[in-house]
Amino acid sequence: MINSVYIHIPFCSTICTYCDFCKLIKNDKWINEYLNELECEIKDKYKGDIIKTLYIGGGTPSSLNINQLKKLFNIIKIFKFSDKVEFTFECNIESIDYKKLKFLYNNKVNRLSIGIQTFNQKYLKYLNRNHNVNIVKEKINIARNIGFKNINVDLMYAFKDQTLNELNDDLDKILALNVEHISTYSLMIEPHTILYIKGEENIDEDLDYEMYKLIIKRLKKFGYKHYEISNFAKNGKESKHNLTYWNNNEYYGFGLGASGYIKNARYDNVRILNNYLDKQYVKDISNLSLNEKIENEFILGFRKIKGINKSEFKLKYNIDMKDIDIINKLLKQNQLKENKEYIYINPKYIYISNNILVNFIDLKF
């Protein structure tokens, strides 16, 4: 049974200098054709499962106008939703207003994810983003007045020349918003992006680590729970959708560039619009062996600060985690720790968790 759906809307009003996601400058003709094809793909793959989490991401889903949103929301009527569905819609501050937010609220959206990145005008310009504290506050107030009780914001850091003081300033402003969830992202200079072409480089690792520690310290002090390497939530407001990924559970992925995990197979959709419109939805698909499933279970599961539940692991794979040599070795080395229910990465090593996770590649069972 699959309980989660991701839908990708690849259109944006402007392109950010750091972005390597699957995105296109918006164009009404393409949006119309895209939505028609999205409907076909969903009808083709969806098998009537009860959906507990739906995430419409992008790109910028909120860049669609009301008529386009109406068309999108007609398409998703096909899903059988659980009463308690977590329905997230990704927004950019510039493209939301009362009318759109009210439409989303009236159509079951109960979680907004808003890309803020920074409040610092110097870095907003560097990223090709355009907003300010007052506009952000105003839009979030509109959302609150309409009734949204679950809002995530994305905070980015590690810009070239950024100081700890400047990050502190952004943290003050983010905390003042009093949102339920904060996702943090250290800026990665990805190939094919404007920053990469300009020759920009990632900042010094030691400063990046200082910034990460500052974020954890300030967000925890304010009452956020650090529940995943880069994610923080108020009590009970962890992202159920993203936990589907980290719990290595299956999910449908629809749309250009989307990924999915259905019936033991992971797939990536094409990123070229014409191919998608020609119904060549999937670019790569691979059936997972038991070894690969367990590898994913570790690599994704150890991203959660509380780690992997020992009895759930046993139920899923009929293997005791404590019978796995590498788990015992890492426990002895104090890189992993355990309590009655969970095995988890030693919090001391969370920042360098990738160095621990490589141990789980190519295990044989």
Ligand X SMILES: C[S@@+](CC[C@H](N)C(=O)[O-])C[C@H]1O[C@@H](n2cnc3c(N)ncnc32)[C@H](O)[C@@H]1O
Where does this chain bind ligand X (CB under 6 A)? Answer: 18-21, 57-58, 60, 90, 92, 115, 117, 154, 156, 185, 187-188, 190
Nearer to ligand X, 68 or 295 (CB): 68
Region 35-64 residues binding ligand SF4, contact defined as CB under 6 A: 58-60
- Among ligand SF4, ligand X, none, residue 49 binds (CB under 5-8 Å by kind): none
Is residue 304 classed as helix, strand or coil in its secondary structure? strand
Nearer to ligand SF4, 2 or 12 (CB): 12
Helix (H) / strand (E) containing 190? none
Region 114-173 residues binding ligand SF4, contact defined as CB under 6 A: 115
Question: Taking the complex as a whole, how short is the minimal distance between the CB of residue 21 and ligand SF4, in angstroms?
Answer: 5
Question: Taking the complex as a whole, how short is the minimal distance between the CB of residue 254 and ligand SF4, in angstroms?
Answer: 17
Alpha carbons 26 and 23: distance in angstroms, whole number? 9
Choose one: 16-24, 191-199, 213-221, 287-295; the region binding ligand SF4 (CB under 6 A).
Answer: 16-24
Nearer to ligand X, 167 or 330 (CB): 167
- Residue 15 contacts ligand SF4 per CB under 6 A: yes
CA-nearest of 239, 288, 237, 232 to 260 is 288
Nearer to ligand SF4, 113 or 150 (CB): 113
- Among ligand X, ligand SF4, none, residue 245 binds (CB under 5-8 Å by kind): none
- Among ligand SF4, ligand X, none, residue 15 binds (CB under 5-8 Å by kind): ligand SF4
- Mark residues 82-101: x for contact with ligand SF4 by CB under 6 A, - for none: ----------x---------
Alpha carbons 298 and 233: distance in angstroms, whole number? 22
**Which long-range contacts link 102-107 to residues 24+ away (Cβ below 8 Å)?**
102/146, 103/66, 103/69, 103/70, 104/69, 105/146, 105/147, 105/148, 107/73
CA angle 48, 149, 176 (to 5 degrees): 140
Strands (DSSP E) found in the chain:
4-9, 11-12, 24-25, 50-58, 80-92, 111-117, 151-157, 181-186, 225-228, 231-233, 252-254, 259-262, 265-269, 282-287, 308-309, 336-338, 342-345
Phi-psi group of 100: left, alpha or beta (phi > 0 → left; psi -120 to 50 → alpha; rest → beta): alpha
Alpha carbons 139 and 7: distance in angstroms, whole number? 24
- Residue 7 contacts ligand SF4 per CB under 6 A: no
- Total residues contacting ligand SF4 by CB under 6 A comes to 11
Nearer to ligand SF4, 3 or 193 (CB): 193
DSSP 22: S
Nearer to ligand SF4, 53 or 113 (CB): 113
Question: Taking the complex as a whole, how short is the minimal distance between the CB of residue 85 and ligand X, in angstroms?
Answer: 21
Q: State phi, psi for 172 to the nearest 5 degrees.
A: -55, -45
Write out the residues near ligand SF4 by the rule CB under 6 A.
12, 15-16, 19, 21, 23, 58-60, 92, 115
